[in-house]
Amino acid sequence: MAEPGGTGRFAEHVAQLLENGDGVALMVGSGVSVAVLPRLAGLLDLADEYALNRPDGGDLVAALQRVRAEHVDVVPTYLAYRREFAAWVSGTEFDVVAQEAVLRGYQPADGAPIPNHGRWQRVGEVLGERLERDLDSWLLPGGMAALGYLLANRPDLFYSRVLTTNIDPLVEIAIRRAGHDATTLTFHPDGANDVHGPPDDSIRVYHLHGFWRPIGDGRRRLLPELPSPTERRPPALLDWVRRLIWADNVCVIGYSGWDGLFLDALREVSRTGRTPRVLWAAHTSDEKALPELADRLRDRTGCTVEVFGGVDSDVALPAVATRLGLMPVRPTAVRHRIRHLDWERELISEQGVAPPEDCLDLLRQLDRRFGWVRSWAAGERPEQPELLFWPVRVRASQPSVIHLVQALAAAAISARGVRVVICLDDFTSTDAVTSRDVFESTIRRWFRQVPGSVPPELVSLSEEVERVEIYGAGSDGLERPIHPWDVAREVYGERNPSLLSVLMATRVIPDVPLDRLMDHAPVILRALTRQSARRLLTPLTVWSYLHRLLQRHPPSRVITLGGRGEIAFWELWHSSFDDPINQLYNPYLRDLTDDSPLVRWSTPAELRGYLDERLATAHGEEEGQYFHWLVQNAFLLPSYLGGYPLPVVRGVRLDSWASILAAVRADPATLDFVADRVSTTYLRAGEG
């Protein structure tokens, strides 16, 4: 019988076992993650919300209301909900509700929505894996974090495995945050179910009720199919769980036993002649109910069962980890590791020094010193790049100062042994040949400003697509589709993204958070009526050519170059294809696009007029605005990459944003010097 202080007694018993070197088979239920994720009752509420939001959900809503009226307990209600979903929608549609529940635990520090993903839209394997790699954006209760430290630091005591009825990835997240690798395993009804896992030192996390996203086997069903009331549980499933219970000491926490699966597996273990000792952490603290619970568990399992009442996993598990010396001395109270970019640029970047010779170091300096964004798909250890892929939409007008900034970065990267391929999207150009010639001559002139740069390869996308149409043999047998229509079949057919994500990725409509769409309704409606449908072809054509390049370059060594407006474009690519290519984005120019007249000018006087106009606004001196962006990227960056000395004006060395802003405030005539210098870089430098 459990006595008051069940949390402390449970922690004491578990810690004693582990200190003695006795192995423990660990079973974790949803009670350990209840602080951040909905339990069954919350899942039912989400299912109701889903039904109400379906255009054809009237029958489903009525069916769910009948279920609520017929059932009181949450478990029978949940099982009935699953069956109603299967009857009125499909057998796999409840997966979407479960995924939405799991995403309640994914909370990025900036509060931004998941790119290219709408509510009630399925999470595929690629997107799910990418979210799981974003370790710091997942909420972790204290007990779950402590569990990660226990498993990561003493895997031998747990046979490098943990069983869970949870479908969420929080156990894996906790293990990885603690510095160890984790492998997700689920039951396969039609295949062999190994109880040993992969031949490495990762912690195996066995999800008995399925996993929240697909895992490489192509099956659409995430949650296991419910047997009818007259059907037995699959014998193979029961045998699999039985074989996973490897130790004679079993610790159960956060699990009520509602499904009976683990209890039946314990019964099968006891029938083999073993009599495991089970430490059962119960949520209830009702002392009168605990003896009955213990008797019921003993009768059901045939095991020796000790029940501890009122166990708080967020107290018990940290106590065990602390007792074993596995918790950090001062566990951080913050969930996100926040980078202070302004501090980095002041303290880490050395002003006035030459750019580093190593390409990865150069990219870090672009990030820290100038506010560029690096997005590494391959994890925390990026590989040296060997290809920079820069897609550009060709316009009839001259290249913009944004193109200048991108070209200088590309030139510096080429000087470090990286092949640069510029893919000219010339499908919508009214005079493609002339526009390409102007763009190519300008880009080559800008490249010459950077010492050691290698001229880029410029490719006409329309000509490449035509070449594939005439001479290509299709994509059969290839790892990636290289024909635009094969790309369309993969992206729009197989992956089936939301139409909203496609419109944002192709920049038909602005990329704004879902909860702010109505605020931008006039802009979106105007864009839908004015933008050409040809934009929808951009992913198909650009990606088909990229895939041809990937036949010769490992994806992890490929970087794409573009502006922040292309983030949704490449997010859509990552959600469609599994290759770990990386992205480099130039700093965001607030409130302006590449179509704005302010990013093109013909004389220093014209630029000076633009500067006066923008500085006269209320936010003209803010970071990210026109003046700041030009100083950082068209004044300081060219000097840094080109090795040009920074000027001194009236005794002030113009070597930083702060010094230039102070000089302009002291004497507005300094703007003439800034306009002359930037215009020389943009209009004339590198000629000849």
The residues facing 652 across adjacent strands are 649
Under DSSP, is residue 211 helix (H, G, I), strand (E, B) or coil?
coil
Least confident of 64-78, 119-133, 184-198: 184-198
In this structure, are residues 37 and 46 in contact, taking their beta carbons and an 8 Å threshold?
no
Q: What φ, ψ does residue 560 adopt, rounded to 5°?
A: -100, 150
Assess whether the region 1-36+140-338 and the region 372-585 belong to the same CATH fold.
Answer: yes
Cα distances from 499 to residues 73, 114, 504, 572, in angstroms, run 40, 15, 9, 11
Q: How many C-beta atoms lie closer than 10 Å to residue 322's C-beta? A: 17
Q: Would you state the structure tokens that stand for residue 680, as one six-digit string?
A: 């020389």
Classified as helix, coil or strand, 106 is strand
The confidence band for 426, taking pLDDT boundaries of 50, 70 and 90, is confident
- Lowest mean pLDDT: which of 131-140, 373-382, 437-446, 600-609? 373-382
Q: Can you tell me the mean pLDDT for 432-438?
A: 83
Tell me how far apart the terminal alpha carbons of the chain are, to the nearest angstrom. Answer: 91
Contact 209, 223 (CB under 8 A): yes
CATH 3.40.50.620 fits 372-585, yes or no: yes
Q: What share of the chain is helix, strand, coil (3-state, %, to 5)?
A: 50, 10, 40
Does the model's pTM come out above 0.85?
no
Q: What's the pLDDT at 334?
A: 38
Query: Considering only 140-154, 219-233, 333-347, 544-558, which range has the smallest mean pLDDT?
Result: 333-347
Looking at the chain, the whole-number percentage of residues with pLDDT higher than 70 is 87
Residue type, 532: S
**Does domain 1-36+140-338 fall into CATH 1.10.3470.10?**
no
Q: How far apart are CA 240 and CA 244, in angstroms?
A: 6
Q: How far, in Å, CA of 122 to CA of 498, rounded?
A: 10
Element (H, E) at 236: helix 235-244
Please, is 518 exposed, middle or buried when counting C-beta atoms within 10 Å of its C-beta (0-12, 13-18, 19+)? exposed
Cross-strand bridge partners of residue 558? 387
**What is the CB neighbour count within 10 angstroms for residue 605?**
12
How confident is residue 628, by pLDDT bands cut at 50, 70 and 90? very high
Residues 221-259 as b or e (16 or more Cβ within 10 Å = b): ebbbeeeeeeeeeeeebbebbbebbebbbbbbbbbbbbb
User: Strand, helix or coil at 610?
Assistant: helix
Which residue, 151, 155, 162, is CA-closest to 184? 162
> Of the spans 216-225, 560-569, 584-593, which averages the highest pLDDT?
560-569
Residues with Cβ within 8 Å of 136's Cβ and at least 6 positions away in sequence, in order, are 109, 335, 336, 337
In angstroms, the CA 540 to CA 22 distance is 58
- Across 490-502, b (16+ Cβ under 10 Å) vs e yields bbbeebebeebbb
* Average pLDDT of the residues in 416-437: 84
At residue 572, does pLDDT exceed 60?
yes
**Among 409-413, 462-466, 612-616, whose mean pLDDT is lowest?**
462-466
Higher-pLDDT residue of 153, 193: 153
Higher pLDDT, 563 or 517: 563
Which pLDDT does position 603 carry in this prediction? 94
pLDDT (0 to 100) of residue 1: 34
283: nearest Cα among 306, 253, 303? 253
In the chain, where the domains are located: 1-36+140-338, 37-138, 372-585, 597-684
Residues 516 and 658: their CA atoms lie apart, in Å, by 34
pLDDT for 335: 43
Percent of the chain scoring above 90 in pLDDT = 45
> What's the token pair of residue 501?
């994500």
CB 484, CB 546: distance < 8 Å = no
